[in-house]
Structure 1
């Protein structure tokens, strides 16, 4: 079993444990069967809430929602569409979504994933050309600029390196759902003359990355801060909730692979926050980025190798 690391700041400014909501996508089982497997593994009662949605109520980790991939759920109204859905079950993601839980309960989610694998569920590497992901919704310690900017900057500077080290499945690298941040956003985050506030971050992010398809989606945090501006810039956010939590979407779901776990991906996120909490290391990365971008003959796409000169020495990524 993978040991579960602690965040460098495991509690909020109010003293509460920072929780994490977990979303796991997989194939090989339908929503009802997935819900029953979760109930067998974690306890609780299975209840149907809509045609393609179920809830496991009262499990050991709280209520768990089980549903068809949101991109398809509202598009299968006709009988023909439903027939196509039935034939395509092997490659259509089904997901389960936990309530925010304390990190030390992640092991129970991994137990449920093991039960799913035994029942025939599979992750992204068995999903043909469809990538299945794992999302972590990690509560912020607070909602001030100093609670957000260092972590956002750290991830922006580590992202290429992490992608190379994590060996993401090609099916997910080709999908638009986990795009890298544009270089102009990273430039702004590394600008030594920038004066940051929440309003400045809102303007900068909406100018350079106005969509949800990034491996670290900041829009829920920004909508929690200023809903109207976010919805105006990204209309599809009108139907999404704002919340003071990181929406980390980079990891593959690899249910059924012996060396993979939710705990592993959580530990990787803890590394990001660890870099963010080290001003000297973060400063070196920012300076390295500015030097990289300032080279007259810099090679686009080589930042992962340049950043590795620092990160391989300073960081232990599981």
Structure 2
């Protein structure tokens, strides 16, 4: 199936401005300097070394890019030990391309750069057992109110088991604990909150089960942006300070299969579009909440049973892709 780019069901924020999307692309097979130069040739602008191993592309038609080895050592002071760590890391640690927040039309242009990187030898998740590379979509929230945050969170939480089964991520990513599934208890507690909880109830419920970043949908940047005092009070100042607060849903589940000529960023975008499409349908949301509770009962034995039932519900709503 060929996936197409579909605009968000709610394309503008509460102020009437178009919602923007930041994209992070992980891959192997190319050093960061070469990747930066390829992007500069594709979109214009100038590639330059900002601080080894961090490259930037400035002044392109899509704004500025950052290109770097995705490892904590990139910000360490230069030393023989750091350089050795970077050299070893390049065998298994991805190079990451990070965009500015893009308009929807700008995001669609990223496939040009993806094709250029592929032609130059970029490798995706399917190329090796340790190549657990992904796409991160940082989708601007409609607003900072509880309603705008809860609806997409709730939609994803209820369909996550189905999405992982019907649109599975590469096996290499399943053995790396960076995109763990939400605990079923979190989903149950979110449903119990109802449709109009307080901000404190929402933050307390989420952080009680997911005080870390390693989730398919990482909510900490958005919660930190919207409710910094509450998040800090629960996590503590030290841990809260490590969170890069921003008004976006940090969707980490999508794959990067950049070396597959049949793959497109549009396929991964479709995952998030589907979440928001469901979130905008009150009747479908109500049905999913009711049937999730009925399916799970007091004890959840098999998550796959809900994945199958969820798929039937979404199919009846006309929301299941042909490949799922």
| TM-score above 0.5 | yes
Cα distance in 2 between the residues matched to 1:30 and 1:231: 37
Q: Does 1:201 align with 2:196?
A: no
Question: 2:316 aligns to what?
Answer: 313
Question: 2:154 aligns to what?
Answer: 153
C-alpha distance 87-195 of structure 1, shift in aligned 2 (>3 A): closer
RMSD: 2.1
SS of structure 1 residue aligned to 2:206: helix
Aligned length: 318
TM-score, length-scaled by structure 2: 0.91
- Within the candidate set 286, 291, 300, 2:289 is matched to 286
Q: Structure 1 stretches of 5 or more lacking a match?
A: none
C-alpha distance 125-296 of structure 1, shift in aligned 2 (>3 A): closer
Question: 1:48 aligns to what?
Answer: 49
Question: 2:9 aligns to what?
Answer: 8
Question: 1:73 aligns to what?
Answer: 74
Q: Does 1:242 align with 2:245?
A: yes
On the 8 A contact 2:162/2:311 being kept in 1, the answer is yes
Cα distance in 1 between the residues matched to 2:105 and 2:195: 38
Question: 1:179 aligns to what?
Answer: 180
On the 8 A contact 1:271/1:316 being kept in 2, the answer is no
Cα distance in 1 between the residues matched to 2:244 and 2:290: 35
Q: Does 1:275 align with 2:239?
A: no
On the 8 A contact 1:292/1:298 being kept in 2, the answer is no
TM-score, length-scaled by structure 1: 0.93
C-alpha distance 87-312 of structure 1, shift in aligned 2 (>3 A): same
Q: Structure 2 stretches of 5 or more lacking a match?
A: none
Cα distance in 2 between the residues matched to 1:25 and 1:124: 9
Question: 1:28 aligns to what?
Answer: 29
Q: Does 1:188 align with 2:192?
A: no
Deviation of the 1:85 alpha carbon = 3.4
Cα distance in 1 between the residues matched to 2:86 and 2:66: 20
Deviation of the 1:6 alpha carbon = 1.0
Deviation of the 1:89 alpha carbon = 2.4
